A and B are shown apart, each in its own frame.
Chain A
């Protein structure tokens, strides 16, 4: 059975559309099909910024430079090729992850012995969320200090990765 173009569920609705004289097929599960059809005015070409056939076709051909897997291959097998794929297919995977999980931010165990670079990343996550709170509370002085610290770490990470 074909899988939905948007998530990993089985595709139950098969939509054939003629756009600019070209026949295009889209296989979707019920939930995604409803979303797709609800995107509104079929007369208007650019009424669907969230999802359209051309974009999906383009993302299908996207390939990971590390392991060579294309997004199309992932969709048919349901398995990724290497850890880098999460970065390469970030946009494509986000919707899927949000559908199958509770959001897309890890809040479980963190490796005990993370390298210096990794620790910087965790510090960044923490500081960024603190910054959000500070801005919300209109604590601008604190926010500025946090922003400086974030920038410092970010530039350190940049020099580490280029080195």
Chain B
């Protein structure tokens, strides 16, 4: 898999289609699995990690007839390429930053990724655009079944799949949905939603998962419990709670429109103005403004733009992506210039096309 060619486009999950994709960016399900006779990666030396990596990557490749995965040795990549994969949500920060033999198998559409030697020996995920948890589950369950034909995972009759951290034991499942909630942030009702979610024992995280800050009004909602309930049951909890969050977000947007249409429209138009004319701009400001523009499109206040184009910009303006496209390392100040230039080009080119 050629990382440079990946940089030119975006993965399946950013195409901005699928159910409720105005608010639900993506749905993701991951499963944690381990080999029973090896120490977990945090306690394995490089020799053991290499053995695990070789064994798992070979078995994974053996599946290629039924599920083609492109294997990338993350331990052979430089820091920029690793960051690039993190930005695309194909690997976790933990896999990027840890040491020793490790890797990832990625499907051509980038919807499936199977990490080796992350916190657990195997972390597999399926990510889809929009609110599509059932599709994610069907797919990841199939990938897991395929891998299980080749590998026997550590499993206990009482505790289920055994994982490095007891918070994942049992099903080893994390069901998450990425939401764009600018309306609730503006009306300051977002905290109430979080409190309600915490009562349901659901976690709220930022754009890049565990420990990451909420940027650009993007929030990930996911389960915390993994033992004592079935996968379907855990998925159902999330599936049932999301529609009410969507309802609150839509209601917040409506009330903002009702109470100060001009104010909201002005904020969105200014955000678009800055993005399409700035000469230097940081990642944070870009995410913040793209969030406004994204909401503006969904509210019909900016009709010259499309959601997929904005979704793409959320990723393409990230530091490693800018450097991959420019094919050279850039310092922070130069990145800000390159980012502004990319934004101007993408946002104004679309206007010209229209005219």
A contact residues vs B (CB 8 Å cutoff): 8, 66-69, 77-83, 86-87, 93, 96-97, 100-115, 118, 121-122, 124-125
- Interface window among B11-19, B125-133, B165-173, B191-199: B165-173
Q: Does B141 contact A (CB under 8 A)?
A: yes
Bound together, the chains give a CA A13 to CA B353 distance in angstroms of: 64
Task: Tally chain B residues at the interface, Cβ within 8 Å.
Answer: 40
Return A107 CB to nearest CB of chain B, in Å: 5
Given A103-B228, A108-B171, 17 extra CB contacts under 8 A: A69-B43, A77-B42, A79-B42, A82-B38, A82-B40, A82-B43, A86-B159, A96-B166, A101-B226, A101-B227, A105-B227, A106-B156, A106-B157, A106-B159, A107-B228, A109-B231, A114-B155
The closest CB in chain B to the CB of A73 belongs to B43
- Binary per-residue interface labels of chain B (163-183) against chain A in the complex, 1 for a CB within 8 Å, 0 otherwise: 011110111010000000000
Could you say which residues of chain B place their CB within 8 Å of the CB of A83? 34, 36, 40, 154, 156, 162
With contacts A86-B162, A101-B170, A104-B158 taken as known, whether A67 is within 8 angstroms of B43 at the C-beta atoms is yes
24 A-B residue pairings within 8 Å (CB atoms): A66-B39, A67-B40, A79-B164, A79-B165, A81-B43, A83-B36, A86-B162, A97-B159, A101-B227, A101-B228, A103-B227, A106-B156, A106-B157, A106-B159, A106-B160, A108-B229, A109-B160, A109-B161, A111-B148, A111-B155, A113-B148, A113-B149, A114-B152, A125-B158
Could you say which residues of chain B place their CB within 8 Å of the CB of A87? 156
Bound together, the chains give a CA A90 to CA B52 distance in angstroms of: 26
With contacts A108-B160, A110-B155 taken as known, whether A80 is within 8 angstroms of B165 at the C-beta atoms is yes
Pairwise interchain contact A111-B153, C-beta atoms closer than 8 A: yes
Give the tally of cross-chain contacts (CB within 8 A): 116
With contacts A79-B119, A81-B43, A101-B228 taken as known, whether A122 is within 8 angstroms of B157 at the C-beta atoms is yes
Q: Does B213 contact A (CB under 8 A)?
A: no
Q: Does B224 contact A (CB under 8 A)?
A: yes
With contacts A111-B153, A113-B149, A114-B155 taken as known, whether A80 is within 8 angstroms of B166 at the C-beta atoms is yes
With contacts A81-B39, A113-B152, A125-B157 taken as known, whether A102 is within 8 angstroms of B141 at the C-beta atoms is no
The closest CB in chain A to the CB of B35 belongs to A83
- Listed from nearest, the 5 A-B pairs whose CB atoms lie closest are A106-B160, A102-B228, A101-B227, A103-B228, A83-B154
Could you say which residues of chain B place their CB within 8 Å of the CB of A113? 148-149, 152
The closest CB in chain A to the CB of B156 belongs to A86
Bound together, the chains give a CA A111 to CA B144 distance in angstroms of: 9
Q: Does B244 contact A (CB under 8 A)?
A: no
Could you say which residues of chain A place their CB within 8 Å of the CB of B156? 83, 86-87, 106
Residues of B21-79 whose CB lies within 8 A of A:
34, 36, 38-40, 42-43
Q: Does B230 contact A (CB under 8 A)?
A: yes
Q: Does B245 contact A (CB under 8 A)?
A: no
Bound together, the chains give a CA A76 to CA B264 distance in angstroms of: 48
Pairwise interchain contact B225-A101, C-beta atoms closer than 8 A: yes
Q: Does B4 contact A (CB under 8 A)?
A: no
Bound together, the chains give a CA A93 to CA B169 distance in angstroms of: 11
Could you say which residues of chain A place their CB within 8 Å of the CB of B171? 106, 108-109
Pairwise interchain contact A109-B164, C-beta atoms closer than 8 A: no
Residues of B128-144 whose CB lies within 8 A of A:
141, 144
Contact of A118 among B34, B155, B225, B227 (CB under 8 A): B155
